């Protein structure tokens, strides 16, 4: 009696229909030792240009985010909830960029498109936990802005230092624990029929698609997580900004201007992250082979490149306190 449930061979009669190719796939399905990243192509002499561009992006991300982290940490006037959330956001962006760019630089320069299975799973964990930290932090920043604008008199009592640190800890702990379960509890044990990932970095969705073993638990967990945690955070963001918009429309011109000055950078960051997440979902779920390779690569790394690059510029230029301290550090002017 056949027991090859995943290949639909469940009876003696069905076994007669199992081809030699199917049997070969089943016998070869195992835990692979390395993955091939199919998103890479031979760029010839252009690889040095690509290397320099990626290197400049990475250095820019490190310098801009580290500078803002130092500015916030070294100035006590910025030890407020909004700036502490920003510090967490910038640390997360350094973490996410470092999960991608060092390996990407090595692979571009060395023309290598393979990565060990253990490193691939580690990269999946880092990139997915970065996405979780980023989304959680942006949602908590929405809640912080809601309290500051809609309940200004109660803000200091409702957003205390301990509560702020607790929310920041939640922004990091939950995504890490969640992705330990996803990557090492659900994805790592899967038996795979192939080791080719059609991207320039490792992706959990693509690895699950390579599985010969049953992935029902992975799919159920993914859908449950999406409709509970992610949907709840989206509702939180929508609710807070609906309330903020209501206050802005009913308040004075000065109140509207003050609210816009503090909310616009966050809205820009939230919109940019949402666009990046949308591009990532579209590329993972739909066939975009008709697009040029360069366009697909740009779409796949948009959320890992533009967010860490744009956020420091947006917040550094828009928030007056940070602008003043920047000038003090760069030109020696007094605050």
What are the tens digits of pLDDT across the range 28-59?
A: 445 678 899 887 766 677 788 888 988 999 99
What backbone torsions phi and psi does residue 191 show, to the nearest 5 degrees? -90, 125
Please name the residues in contact with 52: beta carbons below 8 A apart, sequence gap of 6 or more.
none
| Token code pair at residue 8 | 């639909």
Question: What is the average pLDDT across 311-334?
Answer: 71
What are the structural domains, with CATH classification, of the chain?
1-30 (no CATH), 32-247 (1.20.1070.10)
Question: What is the average pLDDT across 260-278?
Answer: 84
- Alpha-helical (H) ranges within the chain are 12-15, 20-28, 47-74, 81-110, 117-150, 155-158, 161-179, 204-209, 216-225, 231-250, 253-285, 293-318, 320-331
- The torsion angle over the Cα atoms of residues 215, 233, 299 and 283, rounded to 10 degrees, is 30
Among 6-10, 140-144, 233-237, 256-260, where is mean pLDDT lowest?
6-10
- Residues above pLDDT 90, as percent of the chain: 35
The residue with greater pLDDT, 247 or 127, is 127
Question: What is the average pLDDT across 58-66?
Answer: 92
d(CA 243, CA 248) in angstroms, rounded, equals: 9
Q: Please report how many Cα atoms fall inside a 13 Å half-sphere around the Cα of residue 13, on the Cβ side.
A: 0
Task: Answer whether 39's CB lies under 8 Å from 198's CB.
Answer: yes
pLDDT at 16 over 70: no
pLDDT at 80 over 80: yes
pLDDT at 278 over 70: yes
> What confidence category does residue 61 fall into, taking pLDDT thresholds of 50, 70 and 90?
very high
> What confidence category does residue 225 fall into, taking pLDDT thresholds of 50, 70 and 90?
confident
> What confidence category does residue 97 fall into, taking pLDDT thresholds of 50, 70 and 90?
very high
Question: What is the average pLDDT across 83-103?
Answer: 93
> What confidence category does residue 3 fall into, taking pLDDT thresholds of 50, 70 and 90?
very low
Integer CA distances (angstroms), 92 to 20, 95, 124, 126, 230, in order: 49, 5, 15, 10, 18
d(CA 312, CA 321) in angstroms, rounded, equals: 14
d(CA 139, CA 144) in angstroms, rounded, equals: 9
Question: What's residue 331's pLDDT?
Answer: 62
| Token code pair at residue 144 | 């912080």
The residue with greater pLDDT, 222 or 40, is 222
Task: Answer whether 149's CB lies under 8 Å from 262's CB.
Answer: yes
pLDDT at 27 over 60: no
What backbone torsions phi and psi does residue 144 show, to the nearest 5 degrees? -65, -45
The residue with greater pLDDT, 163 or 9, is 163
pLDDT at 25 over 80: no
pLDDT at 334 over 80: no
pLDDT at 265 over 90: no
pLDDT at 21 over 60: no
Mean pLDDT over the full length of the chain: 82
pLDDT at 261 over 80: no
Question: Long-range contacts of range 1-10, CB-CB < 8 Å, 24 or more positions apart?
Answer: 5/214, 6/212, 6/213, 6/214, 7/212
Which of 65-79, 174-188, 207-221, 283-297 is the most confident on average? Answer: 174-188
Question: What's residue 333's pLDDT?
Answer: 54
pLDDT at 167 over 70: yes
pLDDT at 251 over 80: no
Task: Answer whether 6's CB lies under 8 Å from 190's CB.
Answer: no
d(CA 245, CA 240) in angstroms, rounded, equals: 9
d(CA 308, CA 100) in angstroms, rounded, equals: 12
Question: What's residue 318's pLDDT?
Answer: 66
């Amino acid at each position: 009696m056949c027991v090859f449930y995943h290949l639909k061979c469940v009876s003696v009669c069905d076994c007669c229909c199992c081809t030699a190719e199917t049997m070969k796939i089943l016998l070869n399905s195992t835990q692979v030792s390395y993955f091939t990243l199919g998103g890479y192509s031979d760029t010839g002499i252009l690889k040095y240009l690509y290397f320099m561009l990626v290197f400049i992006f990475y250095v820019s991300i490190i310098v801009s985010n580290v500078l803002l982290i130092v500015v916030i940490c070294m100035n006590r006037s910025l030890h407020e909830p909004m700036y502490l959330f920003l510090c967490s956001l910038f640390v997360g962006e350094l973490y996410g960029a470092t999960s991608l760019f060092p390996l990407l630089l090595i692979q571009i320069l060395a023309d290598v498109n393979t990565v060990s299975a253990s490193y691939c799973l580690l990269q999946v964990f880092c990139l997915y936990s970065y996405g979780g930290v980023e989304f959680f932090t942006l949602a908590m920043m929405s809640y912080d802005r809601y309290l500051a604008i809609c309940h200004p008199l109660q803000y200091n009592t409702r957003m205390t230092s301990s509560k702020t640190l607790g929310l920041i800890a939640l922004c990091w702990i939950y995504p890490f624990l969640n992705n330990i379960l996803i990557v090492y509890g659900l994805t790592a044990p899967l038996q795979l029929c192939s080791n080719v990932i059609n991207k320039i970095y490792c992706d959990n969705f693509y690895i699950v698609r390579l599985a010969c073993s049953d992935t029902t638990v992975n799919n159920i967990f993914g859908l449950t997580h999406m409709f509970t945690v992610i949907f709840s955070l989206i509702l939180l963001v929508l609710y807070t900004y609906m309330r903020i918009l209501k206050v802005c429309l009913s308040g004075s011109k000065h109140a509207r201007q003050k609210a816009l000055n503090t909310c616009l950078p966050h809205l820009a960051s939230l919109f940019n992250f949402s666009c990046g997440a949308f591009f990532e979902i579209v590329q993972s779920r739909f066939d975009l082979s008709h697009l040029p390779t360069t366009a697909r690569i740009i779409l796949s790394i948009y959320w890992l490149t533009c967010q860490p690059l744009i956020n420091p510029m947006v917040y550094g230029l828009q928030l007056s306190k940070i602008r003043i301290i920047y000038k003090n550090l760069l030109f020696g002017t007094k605050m």
